[in-house]
Amino acid sequence: MNTVKIRGLEVVCRHGVNDFEKVEPHPFIFDADVETDFFSATQSDCLDGTVNYSSVCKLITGIAQNNVFNLIEKLAYECAFSVMETFPAVKKITLTVWKPEAPMKCRFEKVGVTFSVERETAYLSLGSSMGDRQGYIDKALKLLSKERGITVLKVSDCIETAPYGGVAQNGFLNCAAAVSVLLTPHNLLDVIHKIESACERERKERWGDRTLDIDIVFFGDKKVCDERLTIPHPDWQNRDFVKIPLKSIAPHLVK
């Protein structure tokens, strides 16, 4: 991956937790590493094959000057996310916001924060065994598509499957979805839990019947293993209700 670097972009704007900071403009300095593939630009010598750093600077400047935030963390987040959303060719951005005139009673050169956003493709398994099963799956996909940082790319057909795990009694409706995400795996998990709750999911017993269940099967080539999340999903290869829908949208992942 190649990197377009921006250093020392100065924008005079109004951000801070103090009231006077929201009135009197003061300088902020932006540094950005924009990861993309500009090999085609090296061959064509045309701007179309890369990310235009002038456009990135203009976007960051507009966000900084047209909004007022309490925290530079929020400012960094909005700028980084907007770059990813505006320029699909960007794989990752690492953005640092410096506040050289922060109102502190101590000597310092500058203070700042760094925020990174990376574009990944995640594969999800969705299932329902209670109530309007198709309705819950459709609602989940709709809610996913409304979340900032998530774009639904592909959805498999739904299949009927027998209950798994020895507890649930009802048949399941299952499908798989490929989503482009600008979130970390754990951020995506938090969104999934929110959507499951919106679809009336109750966690009464493990493996029991449920209105909606969403599992992260793959998240790019990342591996995660902690008390909250394991990726790739540890049991996906033993679950036909995961493999069959997944193979229809991502045959390269299922042998």
Active-site residues, by number, are 201, 210, 213, 215
Distance separating alpha carbons of residues 110 and 101, to the nearest angstrom: 7
Q: Which residue has the tokens 């987040």?
A: 77
Residue 156 corresponds to which tokens in the numbers above? 């498999």
Q: How far is CA 87 from CA 84, 181, 248, in A?
A: 5, 14, 29
Q: How far is CA 184 from CA 91, 109, 142, 190, 223, in A?
A: 14, 31, 20, 10, 12
245 contacts 211 by C-beta, under 8 angstroms: no
Cα–Cα distance for residue pair 216/231, rounded to 1 Å = 7
Q: Strands 120-128 and 213-219, how do they pair?
A: antiparallel
Helix H or strand E segment including 17 = none
Structure tokens at 243: 């493999």
Place of tokens 């990726």: 231
Residue with tokens 């482009």: 180
Instruction: Let me know: does 102 contact 70? Beta carbons within 8 Å.
Output: no
Count of C-beta atoms within a 10 Å radius of residue 148: 9
